[in-house]
Amino acid sequence: MPVRKKVAVLISGRGSNLKALIDAEQDAYDITLVVSNVQDAGGLAIGRAAGIATFALAHKGIARAEFDAIVDAQLRHHRIEAVALAGYMRILSPEFVERWAGRMINVHPSLLPLYKGLHTHERAIAAGDAQGGCSVHLVTAGLDDGPVLAQAAVPILPGDTADTLAARVLVEEHRLYPQTLADLVRTL
Ligand code: GRF
């Protein structure tokens, strides 16, 4: 069996994508560390329940580059080889992005390049789009801007609200993210 790549997941919230990554773990990767910039993020409990090391530090009052250097030190300590952002609501410093170039991915709830940033589902519905979806992309300096590795589309149905569409897209995120992470780490 090939050696599994050590992956850190960075979160800020409930951690449903983290859970999907953990549940789908197979021969390609091993979630070794969960990092949160929010001390009471729900996802931390998911990590702990799975026996995974967690590191939580509130970013308030710490300069961005300094905060990211602290996170990077944790990643090095745990010999992390790839990073998955999963609802990490924090813009990364250029130094951190450069350090993990080609080894850091994000899941975004839109069909990129459409709707970078927040409120993606509201914006897709307001635009009258026939489809919403999610994208997994390499992280580069621009927000939600890196090369797209994989996408999944879902129909936007009459009467959809941002919440109903988000729920439909989330199912696809949970399927697509583990698959794409596994594909990426196999190339490292
Ligand atoms: C997901 O919709 C993801 O696409 C976006 O933030 C949300 C995180 O949800 N980046 P969760 O914390 O993984 O449940």
The 3 state secondary structure assigned to the chain is: CCCCEEEEEEECCCCHHHHHHHHCCCCCEEEEEEEECCCCCHHHHHHHHCCCEEEECCCCCCCHHHHHHHHHHHHHHCCCCEEEECCCCCCCCHHHHHHCCCCEEEEECCCCCCCCCCCHHHHHHHCCCCEEEEEEEECCCCCCCCCEEEEEEEECCCCCCHHHHHHHHHHHHHHHHHHHHHHHHHCC
Ligand 1 atom with minimal separation from the 106 CA: 10
Per-residue pLDDT at 1? 58
Per-residue pLDDT at 161? 98
Domains and CATH numbers, the chain: 5-186 (3.40.50.170)
Report the chain's terminal Cα–Cα distance, integer Å: 16
Per-residue pLDDT at 177? 98
* Structure confidence by residue, pLDDT tens digits, 156-167: 999 999 999 999
Low-confidence residues in the chain, pLDDT < 70 = 1
Ligand 1 pocket member 86 (CB < 6 A): yes
Per-residue pLDDT at 152? 98
Ligand 1 atom with minimal separation from the 169 CA: 2
